[in-house]
Amino acid sequence: MKKILFLLAFTLLWVTGAMAQTSNITFKVDMRGYTGAAYTTVNVNGSFNSWCGACNPMTDANNDSIWEVTLPLPAGAIEYKFTVDGWTGQESLTPGTPCTVTNFGFTNRAYTVAGNAVLDAVCWNSCNTCTAPPPPTYPVTFKVDMRGYTGAAYTVVNVNGSFNGWCGACNPMTDANNDSIWEVTLPLTAGSYDYKFTVDGWTGQENLMSG
């Protein structure tokens, strides 16, 4: 009986020790630079999971295109890469880049597990973080009817605002059909702007009433 209890205790200690030797490693990949076919899930495949395909799916809980997963891994060197929908698509990493190792003609990412770690989010196919794409712009058309204008003679009407640094003459408007309605279309990002119409840069400007 004592022998059985000793074996059970030894087994428990061995299992506990084995579990303690793993570290939680968080993998992250930024898919904003991905240009391949449509996918449903991003996976991480590596020497630690026998390149199993779909067995370690990643998630993008906040829909920011950065997928991640945390895995318990034993200490030591690993190779890995990111794939989509199992092995439907995979990274094509450049040999010789700092985060990679090439063995037997295959280039993979390399990392040495030495404790809990959250790896930086890297761009698909790259060792680097992704550069954020510029925000989308939308065409906004400004129009002003100058038939009520009573100031000095002018050559050009301009639109000046917070979107162009109140630059003066940098956004001239046109009156293509000579109906005294001047207009210009500008690409603007989403947001709120202040603006006013001016003539010949800042030679004359609107005098708007507050409220």
Q: Per-residue confidence of the chain (211 residues) as pLDDT tens digits? A: 444 444 444 444 444 444 459 999 999 999 998 999 999 999 999 999 999 999 999 999 999 999 999 999 999 999 999 999 999 999 999 999 999 999 999 999 999 999 999 999 999 999 999 887 778 899 999 999 999 999 999 999 999 999 999 999 999 999 999 999 999 999 999 999 999 999 999 999 999 988 7
Note the pLDDT of residue 131: 80
- Cβ-contact 57, 69 below 8 angstroms: yes
Q: What is the CATH number of the domain that holds 168?
A: 2.60.40.10
- Measured over all CA atoms, what is the biggest interatomic distance in the chain, rounded to whole angstroms? 110
Same structural domain, 85 and 56: yes
Give domain status of residue 160, yes or no.
yes
Which of 98, 123, 148 terminates a domain? The answer is 123
- Whether residues 118 and 48 share a domain: the answer is yes
Structure pTM? 0.59
- Can you give the residue range of the structural domain that contains 28? 20-123
Q: Are residues 141 and 65 in the same domain?
A: no
Q: What is the reported pLDDT for 15?
A: 43
Domain boundary among 73, 89, 123: 123
With beta carbons less than 8 A apart as the criterion, state whether 111 and 77 touch. yes
Residues 25 and 113 in one domain: yes
Say whether both 104 and 156 belong to one domain.
no
- If asked whether residues 116 and 73 sit together in one domain, one would say yes
90 in the same domain as 43: yes
> For residue 211, how many C-alpha atoms fall within 13 Å in the half-sphere facing its CB?
0
Number of domains within the chain: 2
94: its two tokens = 């450049």
129 assigned to some structural domain: no
In a domain? residue 14: no
Q: If you search the block for the tokens 């990111």, which residue do you land on?
A: 82
- Look at residue 180 and tell me if it is in a domain: yes
Which of 123, 153, 184 finishes a domain? Answer: 123
210, 203, 157, 204: which is closest to 180 by C-alpha? 157
211 belongs to a structural domain: no
Residue showing tokens 């162009």: 164
In a domain, 209, yes or no: no
